[in-house]
């Protein structure tokens, strides 16, 4: 019998949002607007080249990202989605037994990626529905090598402000890597939620991760990246799976960066629908934290699985976290209306 690592025996697999044919899927935080126009054209023009390996260094994409953010290309490292980049960061700094700190609940992949990298996950309870940065800073020990700060936080949709984030960074030792995970940055109010790169990007122990899977509409092509100090980015590039960012993904991401106005327009539509969903849910009596992402969070605790089942029977797939809450992606207006009707009928089920 093949011996499996003991640390993996009790590790749960990542649970993606369900895909059920014939339903409205509001479970995976995808953009509901399809490919950006320039992306569709670039993919059509590039499809004939996929018999060849992609540029492993993703030179064109790295240069485009560096120009987009106004940084040296040496500060950019890419991966197959920001989740892979998080794994690359862990493999760059974590030795067996080292600790990785993050709020909980937060992104489901953090404890899985930490364990796969050989680290020890340190979960710090949220304060209300928001990351407790003071408690996270206090949880850092001499064994801590990395801290994840998901801002806005997935799945609770909340965010921490600039002063709190700066104060937190001041408290974390310089030899601990702070990873500010900004997968939902495009949906956040810039007056309330800081741009981690502008706020902390000059610090050598701070890394900011971003993704093309959400506002840029490339979830199926898997492109993410980080902006880090050159010395850190160089090590992160070593841990990337060779050729993990495909040729089509690289081309699509470069094209998407050139569609800034359309990305902003679509994000604004989502933000408007998010507000309408939250207003409707609160009018029905639900607790709904103020969201800075493209989803809303219903802290339904023990009723979460029942609520998700009710929605599924009504043709809408949402993402339950049993015992904790339900995450609902903001979709098109008609999709959101279908969900709100189900939320109302669940209240009236007795």
> pLDDT tens digit string along 111-129?
999 999 999 999 999 999 9
| Residue 99 predicted with pLDDT over 90 | yes
Question: Hey, what's the torsion of the CAs at 246, 251, 257, 259, to 10 degrees?
Answer: -130
What per-residue confidence (pLDDT) applies to 6?
77
pLDDT at 73 over 60: yes
Angle at 91 between CA 88 and CA 97, to 5 degrees: 145
Nearest CA to 290 among 159, 176, 155?
159
Whether residue 228 contacts residue 77, with contact meaning beta carbons closer than 8 Å, is answered with yes
CA nearest to 279, candidates 217, 337, 213, 204:
337
Q: Which residue segments constitute the domains of the chain, with CATH numbers given?
A: 6-30+261-347 (3.90.1150.10), 37-257 (3.40.640.10)
Cβ atoms < 10 Å from Cβ of 322 = 14
Tokens of 221: 């092509």
Question: Shortest CA distance to 69 belongs to which of 196, 223, 220, 213?
Answer: 196
- The pLDDT of 152-178, averaged and rounded, is 98
For residue 138, the tally of other CB atoms under 10 A from its CB is 12
Average pLDDT, the chain: 95
pTM score: 0.95
* 37 vs 78: CA distance, rounded Å: 23
């Amino acid at each position: 019998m093949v011996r499996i690592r003991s640390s993996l025996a009790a590790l749960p697999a990542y649970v993606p949002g369900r895909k059920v044919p014939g339903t409205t899927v509001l479970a995976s935080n995808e953009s509901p607007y399809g490919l950006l126009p320039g992306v569709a054209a670039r993919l059509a023009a590039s499809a004939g080249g996929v018999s060849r390996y992609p540029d492993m260094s993703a030179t064109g994409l790295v240069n485009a990202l560096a120009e987009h953010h106004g940084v040296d290309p040496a500060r950019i490292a890419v991966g197959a989605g920001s989740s892979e980049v998080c794994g690359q960061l862990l493999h760059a700094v974590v030795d067996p037994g080292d600790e990785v700190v993050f709020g909980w609940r937060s992104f489901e992949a953090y404890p899985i990626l930490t364990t796969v990298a050989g680290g020890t996950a340190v979960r710090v309870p949220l304060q209300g529905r928001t990351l407790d940065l003071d408690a996270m800073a206090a949880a850092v020990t001499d064994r801590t090598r990395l801290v994840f700060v998901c801002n806005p936080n997935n799945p609770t949709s909340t965010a921490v402000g600039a002063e709190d984030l700066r104060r937190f960074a001041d408290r974390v030792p310089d030899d601990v890597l702070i990873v500010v995970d900004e997968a939902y940055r495009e949906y956040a109010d810039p007056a309330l939620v800081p741009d981690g790169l502008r706020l902390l990007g000059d610090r050598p122990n701070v890394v900011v991760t971003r993704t093309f899977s959400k506002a840029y509409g490339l979830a199926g092509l898997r492109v993410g990246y980080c902006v880090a100090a050159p010395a850190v980015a160089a090590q992160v590039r070593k841990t990337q799976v060779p050729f993990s960012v495909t040729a089509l993904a690289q081309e699509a991401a470069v094209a998407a960066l050139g569609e800034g106005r359309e990305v902003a327009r679509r994000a604004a539509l989502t933000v408007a629908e998010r507000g309408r969903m939250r207003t409707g849910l609160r009018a029905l009596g639900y607790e709904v934290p103020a969201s800075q992402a493209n989803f809303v969070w219903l802290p339904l605790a023990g009723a979460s699985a029942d609520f998700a089942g009710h929605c599924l029977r009504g043709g809408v797939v949402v993402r339950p976290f049993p015992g904790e809450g339900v995450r609902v992606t903001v979709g098109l207006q008609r999709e959101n209306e279908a969900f709100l009707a189900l939320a109302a009928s669940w209240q009236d089920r007795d």
